[in-house]
Structure 1
Amino acid sequence: MAVPKAEELVATPYRHGTKEKAEAFFLEGMTAAMRGLAAQAHNAFPVTIYYAFKQSESEEEGGTASTGWETFLDSVIRAGFGISGTLPMRTELENRMRGTASNALASSIVLACRPRPADAPTATRREFLAALKAELPAALRHLQKGNIAPVDLAQAAIGPGMAVFTRYARVLDAEGKPLTVREALSLINATLDEVLAEQEGDFDADSRWALAWFDQYGFTEGEFGVAETLSKAKNTSVAGLAEAGILEARRGKVRLKPPAELPAEWDPAADPRLTAWEMVHHLIRALESGGEAAAAALVAKLRAKAEVARELAYRLYVIAERKKRAADALSYNALVQSWSEITRLSRDSAPAARDLFAAAEG
């Protein structure tokens, strides 16, 4: 016996005539369902909602948008919930038969929600942006300290961003119109990009030059003149960058050295011009050639400096992912994902390393 289809809560245009009617049906039905949840929610406990969505559904100006995800968030907010967290979970394999060359489910998200107070205030777009810029940097640092994978960082950062958006009953633009969920997500993502860019101030001049060059050229060649001009803006020089071991310059061309070309015998303690860029890529070289134990041996030598390398790996992942350099993005993501184990191994090996050093001294 066939399952009844008319009431099934899916946005399928062929059942409703048009895409717009299908989305309206989904939004209305999901809002009613969420209102039922909100009515039963207790203020002492969060409500967690597990939602699986497609990776991308449509190309919009400024990037790809997931209409289903935005519509779902809209229904949750309309129902009277405030969203305090979005926790990404990679539950679907892209290489499974259904997922190959299709737009099947790619990710799942757990939303942490609480009923929004009845007396929630109204805010202007400017007030919302000011709150975002004040609160998102601390939230981002908290996520990074928790060692969340770079591939999940943007989605996880939506949580604290939406927490700001949904603390208000409405956010009004300059014309007095309420901001849509899509507009709020756009502002959250833009603020996230700004915060990540501001973290570049923690890096040395050589690494800031390498970041700008990597953004434009990756590990491919570029003109020497362009590299020299950029070096003046970053308060360094191409000759100094070559001396630091970051790049190769010859015959009027400049190229960043990929991890596989870096020397295996590198010792950070003996490097007179140590840079965050070198640390990240030597760690990737060690991880890819010798596993977590080899990377841990380097972290033990770097000590506290290693945290700057992890911070840079987040920034490099964002650039590689935006530029669609999948292999590079995979390397930066793998380094951060392995960080907890690498640091654990480095701590475990530190006493043994000190004993060996003391024996050699004696």
Structure 2
Amino acid sequence: MENLGHFWVEINRLSPEVDEAFSAALGPKWDHEAGDGELIDDSSRFGGDKVASKKNFEDGMAAVFRRCHAALKPSGILVIVFANKNPDAWETLVGALIRAGFVVDGSLPIQTEMGNRTRAQSSAALSSSVWLVCRKRPSSARPGFAAPVLEEMRDKIRTQMHRFWDSGIRGPDFVWAATGPALEAYSRHPVVRRETSTTGQPEPLPVAEFLREVRRLVVEFAVGRVLKPSEAGGDDHGGLDDVTTYYILHRDSFGMAETPIGGCILYAMSCGLSDAELADRYEILARTGGKSEVAEDDEDEDSAEEDEAPESEGTGSKVRLRRWDQRKRKTLGLEGIGGRPVPLIDRAHRLMQLWKAGDVAKVNAFLDQAGLARDALFALLIQALIELANRDGKGDEAPILESISNHLRSRAGVSSPAQSLLL
């Protein structure tokens, strides 16, 4: 404590209680003998054992929440403020709350972090925290079963999503506002069981699997509003892959402009992705870090590709979508990454590049190879991209997409449902 100099001397003179509070060393931050200390998932504190570190973190959180549960009156409310880019961390948090006896019945993202703070200026940091509202689960609560719990969740979340959407909630706020109410159906039971397909014996339904189902329903609802904007409310729209879903949500909320990374991280998590995957693996995002850029209005088409190339070297505090003509991976639209299916947005961007090159034979060959002419979902995507491009009002993206749309309609063998969607 001597290194604290004058500051420590002044504190030391306040009272015996303060003396005692500041008498311990600042580290280590975890006492293995007492099993107590700073609660963090750090494998270095467990000899590099990641499994032991994760278990300690989960058990520690559950213990903290059990103490909160014991301190609350039956009508009390616990509010948890949490921010983490890793979906696993959210699953761990929710699991610990349920183990401790809480029901999660509300969630709301609130911007709590200053964008100009040191932590955010040079990294992909969250700008919002998600606030979870929790109540004590009645002691009489019984175990639940997967089928009715999931059905209850679907009914409740659809009602809430319509209410939030009609209230004007959009973007990542919409996704996370709808997640909390969905958790109520799951967390009101001490455990939710399902029958296994092999033995027929009941086993717990993991919170991770439940949250994946919730996120799928929420993002499908939001994407449905983008794919079918002319319909009153639209329909929940499944079938889109995660990467295309992210692209549509990002494009609708932020357009092609540079935007802070925080909201994008929340969207990525909702799609089961990370901002790093979208930037480095799929090349959907370009890191800009707030660097000054040449405005698109001042670029000519021939130089745009060269001017934008260094964008991926930004710090990551800000990002923007890569334009269709900036995505240069040779297998774009032909092969998925890591053995996964090819994202539909990759097929659309490759088709645009082929059309721009003016080789109709290659365009037709690609359409036949990928089966896109008869793909009604691809037709919806093209129409949505046209409307988004017209809204942005820059470049030749909209004319190219409209030409592709006309070409698809004119091709022999295009199914009637696909034709009607393209009209």
TM class, shorter-length: 0.5 to 0.7
Distance (whole Å) between structure 1 residues aligned to residue 222 and residue 44 of structure 2? 43
Task: Deviation per CA, 1:35-88: give whole Å up to 9, x if none.
Answer: 11111222334222222x2223xxxxxxxxx32222222211111000011111
Q: How does 1:99-138 map to 2 (within 5 A)?
A: 99-102=120-123, 104-138=125-159
Distance (whole Å) between structure 2 residues aligned to residue 193 and residue 104 of structure 1? 22
Partner residue, 2:331: none
Secondary structure in 1 matching 2:130: strand
Contact 1:82 1:116 in 2 (8 A): yes
- Stretches of structure 1 that go unaligned for 5 or more consecutive residues are 57-65, 249-254, 263-362
Structure-2 change in CA distance of 1:195 and 1:131 (3 Å): farther
Letter in 1 for 2:211: L
Q: Is 1:3 equivalent to 2:18 in the alignment?
A: no
Structure-2 change in CA distance of 1:102 and 1:19 (3 Å): farther
Letter in 2 for 1:13: S
Secondary structure in 2 matching 1:3: coil
Which residue, out of 44, 51, 54, partners 1:23?
A: 54
* 1:169 Cα offset (Å): 2.1
Q: Is 1:12 equivalent to 2:42 in the alignment?
A: yes
- Stretches of structure 2 that go unaligned for 5 or more consecutive residues are 2-24, 31-36, 197-201, 249-344, 356-362, 396-423
Letter in 2 for 1:190: R
Task: Deviation per CA, 1:98-139: give whole Å up to 9, x if none.
Answer: 234545554312111111112223222222221122111111
TM-score normalised by length of structure 1: 0.54
Partner residue, 1:180: 206
Secondary structure in 2 matching 1:148: coil
Which residue, out of 49, 71, 93, partners 1:40?
A: 71
Q: Is 1:191 equivalent to 2:221 in the alignment?
A: no
Partner residue, 1:297: none
Distance (whole Å) between structure 2 residues aligned to residue 221 and residue 38 of structure 1? 56
**What is the identity percentage for the equivalent residue pairs of Structure 1 and Structure 2?**
25
Structure-2 change in CA distance of 1:230 and 1:204 (3 Å): farther
Structure-2 change in CA distance of 1:259 and 1:86 (3 Å): same
Distance (whole Å) between structure 2 residues aligned to residue 9 and residue 135 of structure 1? 34
Letter in 2 for 1:14: S
Distance (whole Å) between structure 2 residues aligned to residue 156 and residue 194 of structure 1? 15
Task: Deviation per CA, 1:224-245: give whole Å up to 9, x if none.
Answer: 987x957989999x9xx9xxxx
Secondary structure in 2 matching 1:98: helix
Contact 2:99 2:190 in 1 (8 A): no
Which residue, out of 175, 178, 186, partners 1:157?
A: 178
Partner residue, 1:49: 80
Structure-2 change in CA distance of 1:112 and 1:99 (3 Å): same
* 1:198 Cα offset (Å): 5.6
Distance (whole Å) between structure 2 residues aligned to residue 234 and residue 151 of structure 1? 24
Secondary structure in 2 matching 1:257: helix
Structure-2 change in CA distance of 1:107 and 1:69 (3 Å): farther
Partner residue, 1:309: none
* 1:143 Cα offset (Å): 1.8
Q: Is 1:89 equivalent to 2:110 in the alignment?
A: yes
Contact 1:38 1:115 in 2 (8 A): yes
Letter in 1 for 2:219: D
Structure-2 change in CA distance of 1:107 and 1:70 (3 Å): farther
Secondary structure in 1 matching 2:120: coil
Count, aligned residues: 236
Distance (whole Å) between structure 2 residues aligned to residue 27 and residue 19 of structure 1? 12
Letter in 1 for 2:390: K
Distance (whole Å) between structure 2 residues aligned to residue 198 and residue 37 of structure 1? 40
Contact 1:55 1:106 in 2 (8 A): no
Letter in 2 for 1:91: T
Structure-2 change in CA distance of 1:67 and 1:229 (3 Å): closer
Contact 1:54 1:106 in 2 (8 A): no
Partner residue, 2:393: 260
Distance (whole Å) between structure 1 residues aligned to residue 105 and residue 376 of structure 2? 44
* 1:155 Cα offset (Å): 1.6
Letter in 1 for 2:26: V
Rg: which structure is higher?
Answer: 2
* 1:162 Cα offset (Å): 0.7
* 1:183 Cα offset (Å): 1.2
TM-score normalised by length of structure 2: 0.47
Task: Deviation per CA, 1:303-350: give whole Å up to 9, x if none.
Answer: xxxxxxxxxxxxxxxxxxxxxxxxxxxxxxxxxxxxxxxxxxxxxxxx
* 1:168 Cα offset (Å): 1.7
Secondary structure in 2 matching 1:173: strand
Structure-2 change in CA distance of 1:148 and 1:76 (3 Å): same
Structure-2 change in CA distance of 1:196 and 1:103 (3 Å): closer
Letter in 2 for 1:257: N
Structure-2 change in CA distance of 1:233 and 1:42 (3 Å): closer
